[in-house]
Amino acid sequence: MSATLATQSLPGPAKNIEVARSLGSQRHRTNQIVKVLCVAATAIGLIFLASILSTLLIRGVGGISLTVFTTSTLPPGSQGGLLNAIIGSLIQTFIGAAIGTPIGLMVGTYLAEYAQQSKVGNAVRFVSDILLSAPSILIGLFVYQLVVTPFGGFSGIAGCIALAVIVIPIVVRTTEDMLRLIPATLREAVIGLGAPKWKMIVLICYRAAKEGIATGILLAVARVAGETAPLLFTSLGNLNWSTDLTKPLASLPVTIYQYAGSPFADWVQLAWVGALLITFGVLAINIGARLMLRRGK
């Protein structure tokens, strides 16, 4: 009360200076509080991440051996490995990305270059955003009804289609955002030289945005490499060696899901090894994508 009365008794300029100092002090305290909260939230996130990685290292490193990479999954106690699951994951991830990437690239180009403010473009963008945030298990159910049920069985092809559906909206969003960052003056200069629009997009826009688009593709691959739910409804998994896409196909996420809940110690150990491999594989892809984006900038 006395400080308020003292402030009110000051002349005009001095009163304004005192009020400014008081507001500045409040802003400084608020800034410090928000800063402390942000640092605390970051520390909590890093602690959880470090605990997950340390647990994977402690539980998984002890089970890594040459057998893991040279032997397929075998019955309990048979010293089996994860070769078929690793190969199955690589096949499905590669084919899924190969199917989804061109589609996502073309849709993103359409939204950025041809349909920025059109109703069709807004509708396509809305559907893409829904797919981007949709749970992967729903995509698995969709592909199950679309492919598995009509063709009478689980297959690697269905798994690849499910992963491709997950890849598409990620590539669409990244491609559209990267193309929108290209200055309009660059487009106008190319069109002014008499080049058709498609040539401007392919030779100029794609080259200017190639680092960002490639980063989005790598992030999409990292996302689908660890998906389990859609593969349970599509490729199902296979404990035997197989690369036939018309039959059930093994994958690391599904094998981890099957082995982690088993009562056999060697299978549980293989589940930890598989989790370690897929986690550090996805981590390596994400780090590579970030480094590529940083180099592009």
**Do residues 33 and 88 share a domain?**
no
Domain boundary among 63, 81, 113: 63
Over range 73-100, report the average pLDDT: 94
Task: At 146, give phi and psi (nearest 5°).
Answer: -85, -35
Q: What is the count of structural domains for the chain?
A: 2
CA atoms of 100 and 185, how far apart (whole Å): 31
Residues 22, 87, single domain; the answer is no
Give the pLDDT confidence of 44-56 residue by residue, as tens digits. 999 999 999 999 9
Asked whether residue 142 falls in the same domain as residue 47, the answer is no
Here the CATH number for the domain that contains residue 239 is 1.10.3720.10
Asked if 158 contacts 234 with a C-beta cutoff of 8 angstroms, the reply is yes
Q: Identify the residue with better confidence: 25 or 82.
A: 82
Which has the higher per-residue pLDDT, 217 or 297? 217
pLDDT reading at 70 higher than 50: yes
Among the listed ranges 101-105, 133-137, 277-281, 286-290, which one has the minimum average pLDDT value? 286-290
CA gap 64, 55 in Å, rounded: 15
Residues 151 and 183 in one domain: yes
Is pLDDT of 265 > 70? yes
What pLDDT was estimated at residue 283? 85
Global pTM value: 0.85
Which bin fits 52, alpha (ψ -120 to 50), beta or left (φ > 0)? alpha
CB 159 within 8 A of CB 231: yes
**Residue 22's domain spans which residues?**
2-63
Confidence of residue 187 (pLDDT cuts 50, 70, 90): confident
Domain identity same for 138 and 253: yes
State whether 28 and 107 are in the same domain: no
194 CB-near residues (< 8 Å, 6+ apart): none
- Please give the structure tokens belonging to residue 163: 């992963």
Contact assessment for residue 282 and residue 222, using Cβ atoms and an 8 Å cutoff:
yes
What's the rounded mean pLDDT across residues 31-43?
A: 94
DSSP 82: S
Tell me, yes or no, whether 70 and 120 share the same domain. yes
**Predicted local confidence at residue 284, as pLDDT:** 86
Q: Is the pLDDT assigned to residue 210 strictly greater than 50? A: yes
pLDDT for the residue 13: 64
279 and 148 together in one domain: yes
Same domain, 59 and 157: no
Lowest mean pLDDT segment, chosen from 1-10, 57-66, 143-152, 169-178: 1-10
The DSSP string of 202-227 is IIIIHHHTHHHHHHHHHHHHHHHHT-
**Each residue of 104-163: pLDDT tens digit?**
999 999 999 999 889 999 999 999 999 998 999 999 999 999 999 999 899 999 999 999
- 294 pLDDT higher than 80: no
Amino acid 26: pLDDT: 85
Same domain, 157 and 258: yes
Question: Nearest to residue 166, comparing CAs of 130, 142, 137, 131?
Answer: 131
Mean per-residue pLDDT of the chain: 89
Last residue of a domain, one of 12, 45, 63: 63
Lowest mean pLDDT among 25-29, 244-248, 287-291: 287-291
- The count of C-alpha atoms lying within 13 angstroms of the C-alpha of 133, restricted to the half-sphere facing its C-beta, is 5
Tell whether 40 and 154 lie within a shared domain.
no
> Based on the domain organization, do 22 and 144 belong to the same domain?
no
Whether residue 235 contacts residue 291, with contact meaning beta carbons closer than 8 Å, is answered with no
Rounded CA-CA distance 132/173 in Å is 9
Last residue in a domain, options 16, 33, 63: 63
Arithmetic mean of pLDDT, 211-231 = 90
pLDDT of residue 66: 93
